[in-house]
Amino acid sequence: AQKITQTQPGMFVQEKEAVTLDCTYDTSDPSYGLFWYKQPSSGEMIFLIYQGSYDQQNATEGRYSLNFQKARKSANLVISASQLGDSAMYFCAMEASGSARQLTFGSGTQLTVLP
Amino acid sequence: DADVTQTPRNRITKTGKRIMLECSQTKGHDRMYWYRQDPGLGLRLIYYSFDVKDINKGEISDGYSVSRQAQAKFSLSLESAIPNQTALYFCATSDTTGLNQPQHFGDGTRLSIL
């Protein structure tokens, strides 16, 4: 079974600063993918970034990057130069190769960007 | 137009009523999913379908049923709704090609059962 843990229920960051949202995972499957989704107050789920377990480099997508530490089983999301529009709930999710493409989600982190 | 469309967007109903939530997609994906989101618990999988003839239970299928009417349509039913099924429901789709394809979500259905 897979498990995702997000230990920060809420985070605050000043506009234009960087912020790291923590995610740790547990799986016995050697092949897996890690995803981050953003959920604004309007409710939709927006895909942000993906990291594969065999990827040699950390994933980056614009202002989003993923600090992937495989030995520690962590996949932290880094948002650089925070903007007010980044205020949202952020979910880490994992999909293992043996899981029939099921996503296991963490409980989320509510990020608030302060002006 | 949205690639994954859920109807209705909001629904308030009474205990014991039968409710159907519908999902349609234009992405051409074979795989479709229904999730439920409760505050503080993230999203949990209710049912998933790999194609029209393949339906599988997820983590929390009790009290729910599904129907895959076509590749593009996947419906979730609550046969006799109860208040603890009040939640935000999401439909999602995914491609079959490898782990690096994200699931694409609809905008969700807010369901309140009184």
- Condensed to tens digits (0 to 9), the pLDDT of residues B41-58 reads 789 999 999 888 999 999
**Is B104 in contact with A47 (Cβ distance < 8 A)?**
yes
CA atoms of A66 and A59, how far apart (whole Å): 5
B10-35 pLDDT, tens digit per residue, is 999 999 999 999 999 999 999 999 99
Selected residue of A103, A107, A109 to mutate for chain B interface (largest B Cβ count, 10 A): A103
- In terms of CA atoms, which chain A residue is nearest residue B104? A47
State both tokens at A59.
């994933």
Measure A43 CA to nearest chain B CA, in Å: 7
Spatial contact of A35 and A55, defined as CB atoms under 8 Å apart: no
- Give how far Cα A26 sits from Cα of A20, A80, B7, Å: 20, 27, 35
* Least CB–CB distance from A107: residue in B31, B40, B88: B40
